[in-house]
Amino acid sequence: MTLFSASTVRRLLANNTSSSSNFLHFARRHLSSTTPVSNFDKLGCIGLGLMGHGIAQTAAMAAAKDNIHSSIIAFESDQKFLDSGRDRIQKSVDKLVSKEKLTSSQADALMGKITFTTDRDALNDTDLIVEAIIENMDLKKQLYSDLGQQCKPETVFASNTSSLSITQMAEASGRPDKFVGIHFFNPVQIMKLVEVIKTEYTDPTVFDNTVKWVDQIGKVAVKCGDTPGFIVNRLLVPNLIQAMLMLERGDATTHDIDISMQLGAGNPMGPLHLADYVGLDTCLFIMQGWVTDFPEERAFVVPEMLKDKVAKGELGRKSGKGFYEWNGDRRGDPVE
Measured distance CA(155)–CA(87) in Å, rounded:
28
Q: Of the candidates 241, 333, 220, 222, which has an alpha carbon nearest to the alpha carbon of residue 287?
A: 241
Check if the beta carbon of residue 181 is closer than 8 Å to that of residue 197. yes
DSSP classification of residue 335: P
162 a catalytic residue: yes
Q: Which of 69, 131, 233, 314 is catalytic?
A: 233
Q: Which of 53, 69, 131, 162 is catalytic?
A: 162
53 a catalytic residue: no
22 a catalytic residue: no
Measured distance CA(314)–CA(196) in Å, rounded:
33
**What dihedral angle (degrees, nearest 10) is formed by the CA atoms of 82, 187, 210, 105?**
70
Q: Which of 183, 209, 273, 314 is catalytic?
A: 183
The number of CA neighbours under 13 Å toward the Cβ of 192 is 3
Measured distance CA(13)–CA(5) in Å, rounded:
12
Burial (0-12, 13-18, 19+ Cβ within 10 Å), 168: middle
Burial (0-12, 13-18, 19+ Cβ within 10 Å), 41: middle
Residues in contact with 146: Cβ distance below 8 Å, sequence separation at least 6, in sequence order: 120
Q: Which of 76, 131, 195, 314 is catalytic?
A: 195
183 a catalytic residue: yes
φ, ψ for residue 137, nearest 5 deg? -65, -40
Which residues are known to be catalytic? 162, 183, 195, 233
